[in-house]
A and B are shown apart, each in its own frame.
Chain A
């Protein structure tokens, strides 16, 4: 091939038989978990729900946010009552389970709160209106406040909010209930999978879940080959820990 094109000898590690690949992939991930537990814990945080003491250095200071915040603690922009509804919703969107901690433990709430401070009163109002409507919708259709519903009923109610069915129920969603759902979902994803600089993605839980190999200033041809050979160690740091961008808030 011509210049600049590397013929990667390892690409044959992609077998054409998908089932075989799936099986070997799970094994690899199991091994990765085991390796993490055995000693590479600093590189591969494997903490599950409740193990918040294993915070990485980046979570100190401004990054820490509401480290010990239990669901229901007030945020800057929402009341305690609104916060507990939002917490319950976020907890259903990305729950904590055997695959790792969820959005709540990753502090997507803290991320949302900071985001609301930046976006301003209109966005805060969208949250307040939507959360109130979600609670009324739960009462009207399932006979209890959202936080009091079983997980199954919470999920069922959220599906109706997502698909727009809740918007016809006269409980106060502005426009389609799906718009409110998508707004919260989008922010929850940002707060779980985004750069920890913004206060979410605590312990890099989001990046661990999807095996993101991390922020690097330069990815060499050798790095890419190692990635494809499953030999590249993941980086776990914020972009703003890189020397060039250490000045603080993004400009």
Chain B
């Protein structure tokens, strides 16, 4: 029998990017909050600039819960699912935000209204066949105050492009209107980034520095970015990367109303006969616990959110918690970040220092920022050029058709070219489809014997068409900047396991097609909230973290304002 703990107002499963932000408005409102986290606390001394440990050994000292639960994947239901590669996320207080790239974008207004805007401008027939995409239940304006709040609470640097409708051409002219500029100026650029920005200008495009949850200067008592080059999959040794474990979580702990249990491995949620959740079962070591709560917030990564719902069955929910409409796991998609384009330049880029979030963005070819009349797709991609290079990865670069990648000939090549290659990052509109989904794998389990998630998903014609279109734009940009060789990745097929996984517990008005309501609370279990990108129904062409954090803050604020209604 699990040990029964004292009841609490709110238990949050997962102290990552979303859950770690939601704790603050709850704790500040005086609610008793328990945060359950599978990982442990990490601090600056855990974050040595060490490429082997960060990028080749996947932080061997970490709690490996997510690794044990990593999903299987397949392109379609006609093929077998395999477990390929590791889990890209990590378990820790702060979650993957401890070592993420920290690009902190707001979605553009179009991303909230893909269906109605496409129908209005081009006709409803332009929505790709079999796509289950819906408009969000609200528009950009509804989320703006929460974007604004989170940008200030955690600290986001960037260059505003639209403050209250006034365009600033140094920023993104396509962004939705914001109440205020960013709380910090954008991260600085390097000479190569200036070169790329100049090339974009000469093509008639509109380059701007991207937003990042990274201090460009001293902020909230923490240092500015050190630009030391080990930011990709690296924690920050000067605490300039604004993970919740440095920002919202300490502030919530200061209220005295938050208690965090680390190394807590949540196995199921518990429900009563009326369909309300009553608490959470978890394991620490070999000890089992039951944490009763008036409200449960599920704030794991997309795969684990869906998995916990499907694993939690009762008489009220025979197919899994909040799944009586069969929507858990549906409308799944992961961002098309592949189809990369890389270029070789005839000069050193001096890219050894910097970080992935330091760069030049082009939004001219994203969303509906250009006329799609002559195209066979909707949406587009954000082009991103950054300064990021480390020695092992540099020495492992493509030889761009100049011979084999080892031996004396290679040594001559790498001596000349180690600092002359660049790989772009292109995030593309990705839609949900009828036959892309998550469910429980029929055979593969974690170390507790519980099934892992199975991903069945592939990019469709719309995503591949965007990939080809944006590859063309990217090559154009590189060539304009003087690239002498350009190589491209494939256009994409199987989605596989991703750091940008969306859907599975989609948010919307209609319980027939959505798991959670417009406040991210379950349509079926009223005291269950779900946080994270699993509630998002569209991807936009930019990183999801800030949006999931703004949504988490909004859900927490809703819970505070409607405590009696929701907690029952």
Q: Is the CB of B48 within 8 A of A245?
A: yes
Query: Is B431 interfacial (CB 8 A cutoff)?
Result: no
- 6 tightest Cβ-Cβ pairs between the two chains A and B: A18-B346, A3-B185, A210-B418, A11-B191, A4-B185, A2-B170
Query: Does A197 sit at the interface, judged by CB under 8 A?
Result: yes
Contact with B along A150-167 (1 / 0, CB 8 A): 000001001100100000
B240 to chain A, nearest CB (A): 10
Known: A2-B186, A4-B157, A95-B408. A224 touches B44 (CB 8 A): no
Interface size counted on chain B using CB atoms at 8 A: 61
Interface residues of B in 13-69 (CB under 8 A from A): 44-46, 48-53, 56, 60-61
Does B451 sit within 8 A of A, measured CB to CB?
Answer: no
Closest A residue by C-beta to B159: A2
The CA of A159 and the CA of B410, in the complex, are separated in Å by 13
B209 at the interface (CB under 8 A from A): yes
Residues of A within 8 A of B56 (CB): 186, 190, 194
- Residues of chain A within 8 A (CB-CB) of B398 are none
CB-CB contacts below 8 Å: B178-220 with A = 185-192, 194-195, 209, 216
Query: A233 contacts the other chain (Cβ, under 8 Å)?
Result: no
- At the interface, yes or no: B419 with Cβ under 8 Å from chain A? yes
Residues of A within 8 A of B53 (CB): 250
A residues in contact with B228, CB < 8 Å: 215-219
Instruction: Say yes or no: is A6 at the interface (Cβ < 8 Å to chain B).
Output: yes
Shortest distance between the CB of A45 and any CB in chain B (Å): 15
Contact B48 A240 (CB under 8 A): yes
Most chain-B CB neighbours within 10 Å: which of A186, A219, A240?
A219
Known: A4-B187, A217-B237, A250-B61. A93 touches B407 (CB 8 A): yes
Q: List 22 A-B contacts (CB under 8 A).
A: A2-B159, A2-B171, A4-B186, A4-B189, A7-B194, A8-B190, A11-B194, A14-B191, A29-B415, A99-B415, A186-B396, A193-B391, A209-B411, A209-B414, A210-B394, A210-B395, A216-B353, A219-B227, A224-B227, A239-B48, A244-B45, A251-B45
Is B194 a contact of A8 with CB atoms below 8 Å?
A: yes
Complex alpha-carbon distance, A51 and B263, angstroms: 50
CB-defined contacts of A219 to chain B, threshold 8 Å: 226-229, 353-354
Contact A221 B188 (CB under 8 A): yes
Q: Does B484 contact A (CB under 8 A)?
A: yes
A70 at the binding interface (Cβ < 8 Å): no
Nearest-neighbour CB distance to chain B for A139, whole angstroms, equals 22
- Measured CB to CB, the closest approach of chain A to B498, in angstroms, equals 23
A-B contacts besides A97-B411, A228-B350, 8 pairs, CB < 8 Å: A1-B170, A2-B168, A7-B194, A95-B411, A210-B415, A217-B226, A219-B227, A224-B188
Which residue of A has the minimal Cβ distance to B412?
A99
A42 at the interface (CB under 8 A from B): no
Query: CA separation between A3 and B189, bound complex, in Å?
Result: 10
Q: Are B49 and A215 in contact (CB under 8 A)?
A: yes
Report Cα–Cα, A211/B350, bound state, in Å.
Answer: 10
Q: Is the CB of A251 within 8 A of B46?
A: yes
Task: Name B's A-contacting residues (CB within 8 A).
Answer: 44-46, 48-53, 56, 60-61, 157, 159, 168, 170-171, 185-192, 194-195, 209, 216, 226-229, 237-238, 346-348, 350, 352-354, 391-392, 394-396, 404-408, 411-412, 414-416, 418-419, 482, 484
B347 in contact with A18 (CB, 8 Å) = yes
Alpha-carbon separation in the docked complex, A209 to B396 (Å) = 13
Given A14-B347, A219-B227, check contact A190 B392 (CB 8 Å).
yes
Interface residues of A in 155-208 (CB under 8 A from B): 155, 158-159, 162, 185-186, 189-190, 192-195, 197-198, 206-207
Contacts of B354 in A (CB 8 A): 219
Rounded to whole angstroms, the CA-CA distance of A245 and B469 in the bound complex is 46
**Interface presence of A79 (CB below 8 A):** no
What chain A residues lie within 8 Å of B392 (beta carbons)? 189-190, 193-194
B412 to A224, Cβ gap below 8 A?
A: no
| A193 close to B395 (CB less than 8 A) | yes
Query: Are B396 and A99 closer than 8 Å at their CB atoms?
Result: no
Residues of the A chain whose Cβ atoms lie less than 8 Å from the Cβ of B192? 11
For chain A, which range describes its interface: under 10, 10 to 19, 20 to 34, or 35 or more residues?
35 or more
Which A27-45 residues have a C-beta within 8 angstroms of B?
29
Q: Is B190 a contact of A224 with CB atoms below 8 Å? A: yes
B44 near A244 with CB under 8 A, answer: yes
- In the assembled complex, how far is the CB of residue A124 from the closest CB belonging to chain B, in whole angstroms? 17
A53 close to chain B: CB less than 8 A: no
Chain A residue with Cβ nearest B169? A2
Q: Name the residue on A nearest B226 (C-beta).
A: A218
> Closest chain B residue to A250 by CB distance?
B53
In the complex, are the beta carbons of B50 and A5 less than 8 A apart?
A: no
**Contact assessment for A211 and B419 in the assembled complex, using a CB-CB cutoff below 8 Å:** yes
Say whether, besides A211-B418, A211-B419, A219-B228, A3 and B352 are in contact (CB < 8 Å).
no
User: Shortest Cβ distance from A166 into chain B, in angstroms?
Assistant: 15
Q: CA of A219 to CA of B355 in the docked complex: distance in angstroms?
A: 11
**Whole-angstrom CA separation of A250 from B234 in the bound complex:** 13
Contacts of A1 in B (CB 8 A): 170
A227–B227 Cα distance when bound, in Å, is 13
Contacts of A250 in B (CB 8 A): 48, 50, 53, 61
Q: Which of A6, A94, A215, A218 contacts B411 (CB 8 A)?
A: A94
Residues of A within 8 A of B209 (CB): 2, 4-5
CA distance A206 to B347 in the complex (A): 20
- A195/B51 in contact, CB under 8 A: yes
A199 to chain B, nearest CB (A): 11
Complex contact A3–B391 (CB within 8 A):
no
B contact residues around A2 at 8 Å (CB) = 159, 168, 170-171, 185-186, 209
Q: How far is the CA of A18 from the CA of B484 in the complex (A)?
A: 9
Residues from chain B with a CB closer than 8 A to the CB of A247 are 45
CB-nearest residue of chain A relative to B189? A5
A212, B391: Cβ atoms closer than 8 Å: yes
Of B50, B188, B404, B419, the contact of A4 (CB 8 Å cutoff): B188
Q: Which residues of B lie under 8 Å from residue A220 when comparing CB positions?
A: 227
Interface string of A100-137 (1 = CB under 8 A from B): 10000000000000000010000000000000000000
A64 to B: closest C-beta gap in Å:
18
Q: Of A15, A99, A118, A242, which contacts B48 at CB under 8 A?
A: A242
Are the C-beta atoms of A210 and B419 separated by less than 8 Å?
A: yes
Residues of A within 8 A of B238 (CB): 217-218
Contacts of A22 in B (CB 8 A): 346, 416
Contact between A194 and B52 (Cβ–Cβ < 8 Å)?
yes
| A195 interface neighbour in B50, B60, B187, B348, Cβ under 8 Å | B50
Whether the Cβ atoms of B406 and A92 lie closer than 8 Å is yes
Residues in A whose Cβ lies below 8 Å from that of B50: 195, 197, 239-240, 250
Residues of A within 8 Å of B396, CB to CB, are: 186, 189
| Nearest-Cβ distance from residue B186 to partner chain A, whole angstroms | 4
A227 with B350, Cβ < 8 A, contacts A209-B411, A210-B415, A240-B48 known: yes
Contact with B along A221-251 (1 / 0, CB 8 A): 1011001100000000001101011010011
Inter-subunit contact A95/B418 (CB<8 Å): no
Considering the chains assembled together, what is the distance between the CA atoms of A10 and B392 in angstroms? 28
Q: In chain A, what residue has the closest Cβ to B394?
A: A210
